[in-house]
Structures are given as structure tokens and as C-alpha cells.
């Protein structure tokens, strides 16, 4: 290989290699290059060219996850609880008026005919109706409490709602049996509604989305 004319006065002397620009020393393989900050011993190298890495923001408990959305079946069960509470309040109010009416009729019969067994039966019936009215109002309060606690409640709310739904479905079955024996279409509709409402509420608490919802981390 020739390096130019040997008679050229500006060329290199014979037998001497031409000068090349000096090359920068190469860093040993596996070591960081010169002029860049080295990571401390035991810390894996970070990407980037000599710039400090930005510190990650701390996450919420359970990871950097956005708040979960209530599953659709849970929303349905919550709406049904509010509907059941409204029906229970109406039944309780009408039952109170019914108890008062029966009691007034019993008092009027007692004043007209004197004390008799019919008046006593009327008073006892009014007392039973009043107890039923207070029971429905108490159940309405329970329904509203469970529906409100769906947002921040824990496993206690889930189990209570599940048992509440099962008992409601069983109550619907009892109404269905009575409606079949009496041949009442209205009672049959009520029975189907109670069975459906109770079944949906219980199923929402048993399914995996319902369990995960009540097990989610609270912030």
C-alpha cells in the first residue's frame, strides 16, 4: 500500500508511517464512559446521559391505581335498597293510619255498646298493626343505612346486605305460596318482586366484583 510519492518533499520520510489524529481512549467494556457520573456501588445504572433522574412520586396504598368504580350489579343492588326502603316507609305509614282507624272504631263501639269482646279484639288488632308498622319503618331505616354504606362500608355491610337479601327472597317465597293458595294476582306480583329484589341483592354481595369492592383499599 502506498502512502504518496516518496519524492514529495512534503510527504513523510521513507519508512515512517503518516501521522493520524490521536484517538480518544476507549473506556473498558462494561464501565461507564469518562465524564459521566457513575452510579453508586450496588445500584443498577440508570438510563440517560449524565442527567439526574427525576424521583418518582409516591403512590397510594396498593399501587398507583385510580379509585375504583362501583360495579354495575352493586349499583343495581343499591338502587333496589332505596326502592325497598321507600315501599317499607309507605307500608309503615299506612299501617299506622290503619292501626289508628281500628283503634278509633273499637273505642266508638265500646262507647256505644259498652265493653265487649269485639272492642277488645279491635284494640288488640290495632296494637298488632302498630307493631307491624314500626317493624317496617325500622327495616326501611336498615335499607337506607345499607345503601348509604355501600360507598365506604366493609365486609360487615356486605354480609348484612347478603343476609338481608336472602331473608327478603324467602319472604317473597312465603307471599308466593299464600298468593297461590288464595289465587290473588296482586299478591303474586308482590311475591315475584320481593324474590327478584332479594335475589339481586344477595347475588351482588356473593359475586367476585362485590367481594372485591368491599375489600378495596380505603384512602
pLDDT digits (tens, 9 = 90+) for 43-76: 555 554 444 554 444 444 444 444 468 888 999 9
From 28-37, 85-94, 146-155, the region with the lowest mean pLDDT: 28-37
Please determine, for residue 80, whether its predicted confidence score (pLDDT) is greater than 90.
yes
Of residues 218, 216, 199, the one with CA closest to residue 77: 199
Indicate whether this model's pTM tops 0.85. Answer: no
Mean pLDDT of 79-104: 92
Q: pLDDT value at position 15?
A: 54
Q: Angle at Cα 98 formed by Cα 137 and Cα 181, nearest 5°?
A: 85
Helix axes 117-148, 72-113, angle to 10 degrees: 160
Q: pLDDT value at position 20?
A: 52
From 48-57, 175-184, 187-196, the region with the lowest mean pLDDT: 48-57
Please determine, for residue 41, whether its predicted confidence score (pLDDT) is greater than 70.
no
Mean pLDDT over the full length of the chain = 76
User: What letter does residue 71 receive in the DSSP assignment?
Assistant: P
Q: pLDDT value at position 108?
A: 73
Going by pLDDT thresholds of 50, 70 and 90, the confidence category of residue 22 is: low
pLDDT tens-digit series, residues 112-151:
555 566 667 777 888 899 999 999 999 999 999 999 999 8
Helix axes 185-206, 155-182, angle to 10 degrees: 160
Mean pLDDT of 187-191: 89
**CA 90 to CA 148: how far, in whole Å?**
20
Q: pLDDT value at position 58?
A: 45
Highest-pLDDT range among 25-29, 100-104, 143-147, 208-212? 143-147
Please determine, for residue 1, whether its predicted confidence score (pLDDT) is greater than 60.
no
Q: Is 166 exposed, middle or buried (0-12, 13-18, 19+ CB in 10 A)?
A: middle
pLDDT tens-digit series, residues 111-123:
555 556 666 777 7
Please determine, for residue 3, whether its predicted confidence score (pLDDT) is greater than 60.
no
CA distances from 149 to 19, 152, 194, 211 (A): 85, 6, 22, 15
More confident call, 15 vs 129? 129
Amino acid at each position: 500500500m502506498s502512502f504518496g510519492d516518496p519524492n514529495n518533499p512534503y510527504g513523510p520520510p521513507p519508512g515512517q508511517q503518516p501521522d493520524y489524529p490521536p484517538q480518544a481512549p476507549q473506556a473498558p467494556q462494561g464501565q461507564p464512559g469518562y465524564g459521566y457520573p457513575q452510579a453508586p456501588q450496588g445500584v443498577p445504572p440508570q438510563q440517560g446521559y449524565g442527567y439526574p433522574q427525576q424521583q418518582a412520586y409516591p403512590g397510594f396504598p396498593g399501587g398507583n391505581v385510580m379509585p375504583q368504580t362501583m360495579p354495575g350489579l352493586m349499583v343495581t343492588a343499591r338502587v333496589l335498597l332505596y326502592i325497598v326502603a321507600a315501599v317499607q316507609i309507605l307500608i309503615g305509614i299506612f299501617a299506622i293510619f290503619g292501626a289508628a282507624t281500628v283503634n278509633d272504631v273499637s273505642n266508638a263501639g265500646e262507647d256505644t255498646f259498652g265493653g265487649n269482646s269485639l272492642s277488645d279484639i279491635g284494640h288488640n288488632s290495632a296494637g298488632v298493626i302498630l307493631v307491624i308498622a314500626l317493624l317496617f319503618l325500622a327495616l326501611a331505616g336498615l335499607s337506607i343505612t345499607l345503601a348509604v354504606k355501600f360507598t365506604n362500608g366493609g365486609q360487615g355491610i356486605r354480609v348484612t346486605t347478603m343476609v338481608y337479601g336472602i331473608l327478603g327472597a324467602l319472604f317473597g317465597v312465603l307471599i308466593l305460596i299464600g298468593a297461590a293458595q288464595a289465587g290473588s294476582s296482586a299478591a303474586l306480583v308482590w311475591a315475584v318482586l320481593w324474590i327478584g329484589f332479594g335475589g339481586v341483592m344477595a347475588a351482588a354481595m356473593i359475586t367476585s366484583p362485590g367481594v372485591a369492592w368491599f375489600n378495596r383499599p380505603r384512602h
